[in-house]
Chains A and B, each alone.
Chain A
Amino acid sequence: MSDNLLQDLLRQRGHSGRFEPQEALPTRKAEAWKYTDLKRLEKFGWSVWLAEDSHGVSTLPDAALKIEGAINIVLVNGFLDRDLSALDHLPLGLSLEAGPASEAYGDGFTERLSDALTQEELTLRVDAGKTIEAPIHIHHITWGADADAAITHAARVTITLEQGAEATVVESHVTASGHGFSVPSLGVSLGENSRLGLYSALMERAGSSQIGLADIGVAKGAVLDSFILSIGKGLARREVRLTMAGERGEASLSGAYFGTGDALIDTTTFVTHAAENATSRQFFRGVLDDRSRGVFQGKVLVREGAQGTDGQQQHKAMLLSREAEVDAKPELEIYADDVQCAHGATVGALDEDQLFYLRARGIPEPQARALLTQSFLIEAVEHIARPAIRDVFRDALAYRLEGDLV
């Protein structure tokens, strides 16, 4: 075991990708990691899960998010489990394959880490003009042989919607046993006039860490509706790179997070408008209790020539305890002149007047607090366009606010 965690992982994986021989995990001196300290990873001796390892998951764990009528695709420790997945009767127009990993786009730390650690890639494709009615639910499950097991895994999922295709994809992350350090990556391509609902639920146990990446391209006339529910109890960072690549594309990229204990929840978005008349909407809400921390780094870049861009971003956080903390860094960079862009970031506490109003109607204080917290976050959840998914996410959030993961 070396004192360099990154090099140790690369050695186990047998592949150092694009890392230098002595390179280590980024520290808070790196601009992109200023607010998110990866030191906590050093508390565990992580084992990289390899293709030949075998797990003991025989059914979906209790912790799994349940979506009625969904096509369940199950990945355990980064690898597709064919027995647990509903691969036999996929609807017409949907194909799903697992194979060797391709490379992620970009040369940031997260991309390189994902490239180095990813062993298998799941490719999901919807044929032109086809609508897949049933939600496709990709379960990312961490499984360890015992409670102390510390497993590192990295799954890559690519989703391609051909022209005019339509689908709903949910990707959820839970811990069955032990704890995980996972580096999941998503490569998403929305073809012209396609429509995708893409919903993430990060619900891992305390002690877990996740550094996730989503790279999404929206072509001409395509519509993306996406949401990130981050309610795990460990470290969860999600980097989203969204490119509005074709004119009149529309994207809603929203999320809600809730931190307790020493959770660290980091949402880092980078929206690039590279085409005319495209719309992007970001609406994020977070609530932090105990000693938990929230990070929101949101950047909107409007390229030269992206006239008629409408890019909005809002992040609001609420702190429930003195020790909780949030760092928000919204950024706008505009190189076109006919644009409508706005961003706002606020941090507040529970509103005392609201709390009193509820109590004055007989609602006990703890319940009144929970109700206000929930309604604050639900305003974000309401942005989910698919009603069935909205209900599932709302319930998962309510359950988490009562103290538990699904």
Chain B
Amino acid sequence: MALLKIENLSATVGGKEILKGIDLEIQPGEVHAIMGPNGSGKSTLSYVLAGRPGYEVTGGSVTYDGKNLLDMAPEERACEGVFLAFQYPVELPGVANTTFLKHALNARRKFLGEAELDALEFVKALRKKAKELNIPDEMLKRPVNVGFSGGEKKRNETLQMAILEPRLAILDETDSGLDIDALKLVSEGVNALRSADRSFLVITHYQRLLDYIVPDKVHVLSAGRIVKTGGKELALELEKTGYAGYEDEAA
């Protein structure tokens, strides 16, 4: 059974139709990449999957792990294992990174009927994973994303993913703004999580990321539709040709 099955999904934002009939199926353990021009609807798709208010589904369905994903509140989706690494991570002044992660993890554990995490154990696990991503302890104490550089914010998203261990991780341009070393660290973080029952939907503009996180499939999203699907070589091809040919196809 597919972990995620999107059928003929269309959605509007601010009254404007952005997604115009998307079909996509991701099996457990698979990594799918989505590429596509600016404004084609990649982030919109990620927000619709995460349940962002204001993104109205006007048709189609999304089945996640056999359940209707669109029926669930955002927090429910997260607790069921859907994780979105934001293209633009949000700043939370006054909320310490550690506190935030503890709340998030405990919310999930509560949802799953597990006991709250021991505070000491949590901090130990957090420090270890932070270190792997080259995130200093000092950053864990700071308010979430406040004053973080672009790259630091993306690493922080990756840290959250590593801690929350989702079943479906949607990475919206997590590679944008990362330096070469950070790109490797983040990719290693993702690869460390890859397993037979965990899937990834990786949105990117750069073929380079896909050298590190090798996808099973690559889709081209253009003007709200998936206009082409191929293997990892499609990314290389796009690198050379750009999206010129696809825009016509979608129109």
Contacts and interface: CB of A to CB of B under 8 A. Distances in A.
A356 B111 CA distance: 18
- The listed residue with most B CB atoms (<10 A of its CB), out of A356, A362, A379, is A362
A361 B104 contact: yes
Contacts of A353: 90
A353 B73 CA distance: 15
B107 interface: yes
B221 interface: no
A363 interface: yes
B150 interface: no
Q: Is the interface of A mostly helix, strand, loop or mixed?
A: helix
Interface in A377-401: 378-379
Contacts of A148: none
A362 B94 contact: no
B107 A364 contact: yes
Interface string A346-390: 000000111011111111110110011011101100000000000
Given A352-B53, A353-B90, A367-B107, A359 B74 contact: yes
Interface stretch (B13-21, B62-70, B78-86): B78-86
A375 B53 contact: no
A360 B50 contact: yes
A39 to B, nearest CB: 36
Interface in B65-114: 73-75, 77-79, 84, 86, 89-95, 100, 103-104, 107-108, 111
A26 B135 CA distance: 58
Interface size class, chain B:
20 to 34
Given A362-B79, A363-B103, A375 B84 contact: no
B74 A367 contact: no
B40 interface: no
B90 A375 contact: no
Interface string B9-45: 0000000000000000000000000000000000000
B52 interface: yes
Contact of B94 (A363, A364, A379): A379
A364 B77 CA distance: 11
B186 interface: no
A356 B92 contact: no
A363 B75 contact: yes
B169 interface: no
A367 B75 CA distance: 11
A89 B191 CA distance: 66
Given A353-B90, A367-B103, A371-B103, A361 B160 contact: yes
Given A362-B78, A362-B107, A356 B95 contact: no
Contacts of A363: 75, 103-104, 107
B164 interface: yes
A226 B230 CA distance: 65
B78 A375 contact: no
Contacts of A360: 50-52, 74-75, 77-78, 84, 86
A375 B93 CA distance: 7
Contacts of B104: 358, 361-363
Contact of A361 (B51, B93, B164): B164
20 contacts: A354-B91, A356-B52, A356-B90, A358-B100, A358-B104, A359-B78, A360-B50, A361-B107, A361-B160, A362-B78, A362-B107, A362-B164, A367-B107, A368-B75, A371-B95, A372-B92, A376-B93, A378-B94, A379-B93, A379-B94
Given A361-B103, A374-B94, 17 more contacts: A353-B90, A356-B52, A358-B92, A360-B50, A360-B52, A360-B74, A360-B86, A361-B160, A361-B164, A362-B111, A364-B75, A365-B73, A372-B92, A375-B93, A375-B94, A379-B93, A379-B94
Interface of A: 352-354, 356-365, 367-368, 371-372, 374-376, 378-379
Q: Which 7 A-B pairs have the closest CB atoms?
A: A375-B94, A362-B78, A361-B104, A357-B90, A359-B74, A362-B107, A359-B75
